[in-house]
């Protein structure tokens, strides 16, 4: 008789091979999903695997492995759409891993990190609530979000001046990330250049303090720039 660990390992192997009948048999015998098996199933993008998991009691909104399936599948549009059709909640936030101090983020924020916008569009189509912090994920230069992501979020009601203790407003974050194109886009969409961060600085003052002179010059040349730019010449 196989141990629980052996059953779980066999399930992982069957998932990686896409062997649905074997997956079903192993689950009948008590094999359990592990983090690795869950991730491998997502990478395969095989709807039949998740249908089988559901047949054996898997909770479609589970955050047992930190992120719910809808957040993990934003780069797998067919699987994402199937999960949402089956009733997955598009707003389920991640949980914090043991020892983590990271934020609990929404599927919408996860989708804003992707190079393509389809995951973002599907979530909004299926009723995802606006998460203003997704703007910051779309701005982050270390990730793959684009101006197209910003446009979709803003067109669906994201607050362009959303303020956080950690990042200030989106304009502050665009300066911090040195993303000139996104800074210009936010300004074109009406972002407020007078807004101040937690320590009282405008985006222009952050740019000046950080030595990002190209961004400072953009902000300095705005109409009525006096008073938001620190030293103005």
Extract the tokens encoding 206.
Answer: 């952050």
Task: Name the domain count of the chain.
Answer: 1
Look at the chain and count its residues. 233
Q: Is the dihedral of CA 91, 92, 97, 101 positive or negative?
A: positive
User: Is 16 domain-assigned?
Assistant: yes
User: Is 203 domain-assigned?
Assistant: no
Distance between CA atoms of 205 and 220, rounded to whole angstroms?
A: 10
User: Is 149 domain-assigned?
Assistant: no
Q: Which residues contact 201 (CB under 8 A, 6 or more apart)?
A: 168, 172, 209
User: Is 25 domain-assigned?
Assistant: yes
Domain of residue 11: give its range: 1-58
| Cross-strand partners of 164 | 168
Extract the tokens encoding 207.
Answer: 């740019």
| Residue 107 contacts residue 91 (beta carbons within 8 Å) | yes
User: Is 23 domain-assigned?
Assistant: yes
| Cross-strand partners of 168 | 164
User: Is 35 domain-assigned?
Assistant: yes
Residue 97's pLDDT is what?
Answer: 63
One digit per residue, the tens of pLDDT, for the chain of length 233 reads 889 999 999 999 999 999 999 999 999 999 999 999 999 999 999 999 999 999 999 999 999 999 999 999 999 999 999 999 999 999 999 997 666 666 789 999 999 999 999 999 999 999 999 999 999 999 997 777 799 999 999 999 999 999 999 999 999 999 999 999 999 999 999 999 999 999 999 999 999 999 999 999 999 998 876 666 665 44
User: Is 169 domain-assigned?
Assistant: no
User: Is 67 domain-assigned?
Assistant: no
């Amino acid at each position: 008789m196989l141990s629980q660990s052996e059953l779980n390992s066999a399930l992982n192997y069957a998932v990686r091979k896409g062997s649905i009948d074997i997956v079903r048999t192993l689950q009948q015998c008590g094999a359990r999903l592990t983090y690795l098996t869950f991730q491998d199933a997502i990478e395969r993008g095989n709807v039949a695997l998740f249908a089988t998991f559901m047949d054996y009691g898997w909770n479609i909104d589970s955050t047992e492995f930190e992120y719910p399936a809808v957040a993990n599948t934003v780069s797998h549009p067919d699987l994402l759409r199937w999960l949402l059709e089956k009733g997955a909640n598009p707003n389920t936030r991640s949980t914090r891993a043991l020892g983590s101090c990271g934020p609990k983020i929404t599927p919408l924020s996860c989708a804003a990190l992707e190079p393509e916008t389809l995951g973002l569009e599907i979530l909004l189509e299926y009723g995802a609530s606006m998460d203003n912090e997704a703007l910051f994920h779309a701005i982050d230069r270390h990730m793959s979000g684009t101006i197209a992501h910003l446009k979709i979020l803003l067109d669906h009601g994201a607050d362009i001046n959303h303020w956080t203790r950690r990042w200030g407003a989106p304009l502050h974050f665009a300066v911090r990330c040195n993303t000139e194109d996104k800074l210009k886009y936010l300004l074109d969409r009406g972002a407020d250049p007078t807004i101040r961060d937690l320590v009282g600085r405008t985006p222009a003052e952050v740019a000046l303090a950080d030595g990002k002179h190209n961004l400072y010059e953009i902000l300095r040349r705005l109409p009525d720039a006096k008073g938001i730019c620190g030293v103005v010449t």
